[in-house]
Amino acid sequence: MQVITDPIELQQQCMQWQREGLKIGLVPTMGYFHDGHLALMKKARPLCDKLIVSLFVNPTQFGENEDLDKYPHDFEGDKAKAEAQGTDILFAPEKSAMYEADHATWINIPSLGEHLCGASRPVHFQGVCTVVTKLFMLARPDVAVFGQKDWQQLAIIRRLVRDLNIPVEIVGQEIVRESDGLAMSSRNAYLTEEERAAAPAIRKGLLKAADMIQSGERTAQAVKDFLKKEYASTIPMGTVDYIELVDPNDIVPLKTITGPALAAVAIQVGKARLIDNILIEV
C-alpha cells in the first residue's frame, strides 16, 4: 500500500490507472478506523481494481465550537487496518494541501441540508459536498462507498452526483454496530463508562419507534413524542439535538407516514454527539 499526501500525485496516478482501463474505488473517511470503516473498504474492494481510502479530517465541515481539534487519530493503526483490507493507496493530505488560503469555491445543496444534521450544523454539508467533490476530481473513482450511518450525507452525495453528472456509482453500506446495538463511531471514544452504558438505548428507542409504525401508528408527532420520553428516561445525561421522521430521499420531515420513513436522531451524550437512524418501510 502506498501512502500519498500530495493531491496532484494522487490525481496523476489515478488518471494513469484510468487510461489503463482500471476501475477505481474510493472510500472517504476521517480516520480512527473501526469496523464500520472497514466494512466500507470490504464492500469497495471487489467492486474495483484499485482501492483508494482517503483519511482527511476536513476542517470545512466542522463548525466553530465543534471537535475539529480533538478529533481522535491513530495514523499508524489506520495504516495497518487499511492495508489489511487490500487498500492500494491511503490518501492522507495536509489541510493546507487541500485548501489554499484563498479557497473560494463551495458546493452546497441547501434543500437537502435544511433538516436533521444540517439544521444544527449549518456549514457541515457544504464542507462535506466540497471535499467529496474535490476527492472525486482527484481520485476519479468509478465507485465510491459511504455509510448509511450518515444517511443524510449519503442522500446529499447521491443528489450531488446526479445533479452534476459526476461519473461515479455511489454505494451505501449498512450501519455496523457494537454487539449491544450502538452504532460504531470514532466519536464513541469520547464516552465515559456511564455514558457508554446508556448509549445503546438510542438504537433500542429507534427499534421501538419502528415497531409502533409497523403496528399502525401513522402520526409522526406521536412517534417523536414517544422517542423524546423514551430517551429522557433511558439516556438521562443526554441532550436531544433532534428526533425526526423524514422522507428518506428528500430529507423533509413527515407529518403522516404513508410510505418509507427514516427515523433519525442525534443526541449529545457528554462530549460525543451520537447519531443513528432506521429506515421503516410501511
Residues that bind ligand AMP (CB under 6 A): 29-30, 36-37, 39-40, 146-147, 149-150, 173, 175-176, 183-186
From residue 233, alpha-carbon distances to 43, 81, 138, 195, 239 in Å are 37, 38, 47, 13, 12
Taking the least distance from each CB to ligand AMP, the nearer of 157 and 212 is 157
**Regarding beta strands 238-246 and 169-173, do their DSSP bridges make them parallel or antiparallel, or are they unpaired?**
unpaired
Bridge partners of 24? 50
37, 73, 103, 124: which is the annotated catalytic residue? Answer: 37
Nearest to ligand AMP of 61, 220 (CB atom): 61
Closest to ligand AMP by CB, 7 vs 36, is 36
In the complex, minimum distance from the CB of residue 147 to ligand AMP, in angstroms, rounded to a whole number: 2
Using Cβ positions, the residue closest to ligand AMP within the complex turns out to be 147
Which H/E stretch holds residue 258? none
CA distance 190 to 97: 29
Question: How many whole angstroms separate alpha carbon 228 and alpha carbon 61?
Answer: 28
Q: How far apart are CA 216 and CA 193, in angstroms?
A: 37
β-bridge partners, 2: 89
Min. distance of Cβ 173 from ligand AMP in angstroms? 5
User: Smallest distance, Å, CB 117 to ligand AMP?
Assistant: 12
Alpha-carbon distance 11 to 13, whole Å? 5
Residue with cell 449529545: 268
Cβ at position 42, least distance to ligand AMP in Å: 11
* Gap between the Cα atoms of 243 and 201, Å rounded: 14
Cβ nearer to ligand AMP, comparing 183 with 267 = 183
Active site residue 37: yes
Q: Output 78 or 195, the one with its CB closest to ligand AMP.
A: 78
Nearest distance in Å: CB 73, ligand AMP: 11
Q: How far apart are CA 148 and CA 56, in angstroms?
A: 19
Q: Catalytic site residues? A: 37
